[in-house]
A and B are shown apart, each in its own frame.
Chain A
Amino acid sequence: MSTQTRPKQPRSKRPATKFFGPAAMSFPTWAYALFFFIIPLALIVFYSFGYKPDQFTAIATDHLSFDRYPEAMSASFVSTFFATLRISLLGTLLCLLIALPFAYWLAIKVAPARRSLALALVMVPFWTNFLVRTLGWQIMLSPDGFLSNWMQSLGLLDGPLDILYTRTAVQIGVVYNYLPLMILPLFVAIDASGKKLREASYDLGAGKVKTFLRVTLPMAMPGVVSGCLLVFIPLNGDYVTATVLGGASGSMVGQLIANQFNTAQNWAVGAAMAMILIISTLVVVGVGFALLKLGQTITARLNSVPLHDGRA
């Protein structure tokens, strides 16, 4: 920094400015993230190469190996793992399908005067406890609950409602719990796409469907991407919903990891399972992005108008 400093910048001369400079200002946040996120996470990566020496010790790392990874991938883990992936992927897709028309309606069809209230209402479930909302579903889906009784008295069902503690119940619960996280980014993106572009599209003769597919949806794409990420990632690690609504048959990977740390006290295997969860989450997100890019390239090819001698 001796000869490279910019002497013409008067602001960097004073030490006080340096103290309030952005790099120095970011230091506390850096330190916090380093001390309470990076180091603990690195420790887990390290532990995944260790082993459990005896019944009373949770972890030892005096000789390291990859052995815990095959050990973690037992048959029950693999089947739970794919069940979890199915629930998260289907859940993300269902959230998208439910939220897209809803966000479109909210951003375009609802009168601006009522939009604030509608948005605030979307936020309300978000402000109530996650677990408590899931309990609401547990009450509703239970075989001797009011919904079951009503449906039986209306003749819609022959016997008691048989959904609670199945995979269907978990699926309903996760879609419900993560839906607001999909609606909000979609709303922001569709709202930002603007009325003018849509009107221009109508003026140029495009119909409603065409305008939606060629203008609104491409403009909303960033919202779709961030919504899918916001839903898929936490959903893949969630096990609270599965415990409340799925019982024994609906367990998810998160539950298995938690068991290794809380019950079995085998940190090495638990850490290896966690690493598998992280890596697979990243792989799925990566594949999703690759498919998206591919789709965008193909549609851009199909929609582009080739120019010959300056004419279309």
Chain B
Amino acid sequence: MPSKNTFARRTPTDIALHVWGILVFVYLFVPIAVIIAYSFNNGKVLANFRGFGLHAYISGINNDIIVSSIVTSLQAAVGTAIVSTIFGTLGGVALARARRGAWWALGLTAILGLTLVTPEIVDGISFLPWFVTVGVDWGITPLNNGLVRLIISHAMFSMAIVTFIVRARLAGMDTQLEDAAADLGATPWNRFKDITLPIAAPGILAGALMSFTVSLDNTILSSFVQQPGYTPWPVYIFSAVRVALRPEVAAMSTVMFVLTLAALGFVGFVLRKAGGNATEIIKTMAG
């Protein structure tokens, strides 16, 4: 490693920055490392380490309530990713192609911006009476399904993220390609499918990923809209916090952590094959 040489040229500020950078990384990773370490706790209480072993993993996988809450979370996350990607892509393309100052574009930007700055607790309490009104009083029964409620509320939350990512992605591209395709006789649908969508694809993928994680992570909103039988994983943990935390929570979280990393690695690999670069992808996601 050439680190010896580079350090020789570095000023005290540089060294201080390096130390700071490494300290921040340690800060970011220590709690995750603690959770992974404590998932091998054979004791009954999570925070009390009593011997190393895989007991927590075995009893976690055999616990029906835990498994069903993880399944609910994953279903809700996939559903949210699909719904918010469809609506967000449409919104993002529309906003990127809007005339300057069109009222519907300004209005949509303002509303979606508002969804991002509304505290999650407020979203939660406003969904609760609304689902009761629409689902029970008006008799639109699909809205009484716990999974549908989770997906709709999570997608509302992440739709704005997808819209803004897709808009940012398309803003850099002018309409010449689409005009050229139109001149060559492509139908609007073909233009959308063959030109706009492929250009927006990295943004759409990044948005879908963001929606998926935002949904998987969501606790406050979910705890308001959840229905019996459809308790998502974070809400399960949150209720366990108040009673007693068992090592199973850490074990199952570790499993999900490893799976998420594997999925991310796979997506990163696909994007790299497609000619993307990690820095660009993350920049796209950060907006």
CA distance A37 to B283 in the complex (A): 28
Specify the chain B residue showing the minimal Cβ separation from A212: B13
Q: Which of A28, A226, A277 contacts B119 (CB 8 A)?
A: A277
| B237 interface residue per 8 A CB criterion | yes
- Knowing A140-B31, A140-B34, A179-B28 are in contact, say whether A38-B279 is a contact too (CB < 8 A): no
- Whether A135 and B14, one on each chain, are in contact in the complex, defined by CB atoms closer than 8 angstroms, is no
Range of interface residues on A (Cβ < 8 Å): 35 or more
- When the two chains form their complex, are residues A208 and B13 in contact, meaning their CB atoms are under 8 A apart? yes
A-B contact pairs, 13 of them (CB 8 A): A19-B188, A22-B99, A36-B152, A105-B17, A105-B21, A123-B282, A127-B261, A128-B260, A129-B237, A136-B32, A191-B279, A239-B121, A274-B121
Is there contact, CB below 8 Å, between B159 and A135? no
Contact B220 A240 (CB under 8 A): yes
Chain A neighbourhood of B34, CB < 8 A: 136, 139-140
Contacts A44-B125, A105-B20 supplied; 20 other A-B pairs, CB < 8 Å? A22-B93, A28-B87, A29-B163, A36-B153, A39-B130, A43-B130, A116-B277, A120-B278, A124-B32, A129-B216, A129-B234, A130-B217, A133-B31, A137-B31, A184-B285, A229-B117, A257-B122, A261-B125, A277-B122, A281-B119
**B129 proximal to A (CB < 8 A):** yes
Whether A277 and B129, one on each chain, are in contact in the complex, defined by CB atoms closer than 8 angstroms, is no
Chain A residues, CB < 8 A from B86: 28
Report how many A-B pairs have Cβ atoms within 8 Å: 277
Contact: B118 with A278, CB < 8 Å? yes
**Which residue of the partner chain, among B46, B98, B120, B153, contacts A22 with CB atoms under 8 Å?**
B98
Cβ contacts B111-149/A at 8 Å (1 or 0 each)? 110111111111111111110010000000000000000
Instruction: Report whether A11 and B182 are in contact in the complex, using a CB–CB cutoff of 8 Å.
Output: yes
- Residues of chain A within 8 A (CB-CB) of B30 are 136, 140
Stretch touching chain B among A69-77, A230-238, A300-308: A230-238
Do A237 and B111 form a contact, CB below 8 Å, given A29-B159, A32-B87? no
Q: Known: A40-B129, A278-B118. Contact between A188 and B35, CB under 8 A? A: no
What residue of chain A has the Cβ atom nearest to residue B114's Cβ?
A37
User: Which residues from chain A contact B66 at a C-beta distance below 8 Å?
Assistant: none
CB-nearest residue of chain B relative to A281? B119
Residues on A with C-beta less than 8 A from B25 are: 121
Q: Is the CB of B238 within 8 A of A104?
A: no
Question: What does DSSP make chain B's interface, helix, strand, loop or mixed?
Answer: helix
Q: Which residues does chain B contribute within 8 Å of A216, judged by CB atoms?
A: none
Q: How far is the CA of A134 from the CA of B250 in the complex (A)?
A: 12
A132 interface residue, CB < 8 Å from B?
Answer: yes
Does A251 make an interface contact (CB < 8 A)?
A: no
Given A123-B282, A234-B120, A254-B119, verify A26-B126 contact (CB < 8 Å).
Answer: no
A23 touches B182 (CB 8 A): no
Give which listed residue, B108, B120, B123, contacts A26 with CB less than 8 A.
B108
> Which residues on the B side are within 8 Å of A32 (C-beta)?
87, 155-156, 159
CB 8 Å contact bits of A260-273 with B (1 = contact, 0 = none): 01000001001100
Q: Which residue of A lies closest to B257 (CB)?
A: A128
Residues of chain B with a CB closer than 8 A to A179's CB:
24, 27-28
Task: Decide yes or no: A17 and B121 within 8 Å by CB, A105-B17, A145-B47 being known contacts.
Answer: no
How many angstroms from the CA of A134 to the CA of B35 in the assembled complex?
Answer: 10
Task: Tell whether, in the assembled complex, residue B125 and residue A270 are in contact, meaning their CB atoms are under 8 Å apart.
Answer: yes
Q: In the complex, which residue of chain A has the Cβ closest to the Cβ of B120?
A: A237
What string of 1s and 0s marks CB contacts (under 8 Å) between B67-100 and chain A? 0000000000000000000111011011101110
Residue B105 CB within 8 A of the other chain:
yes
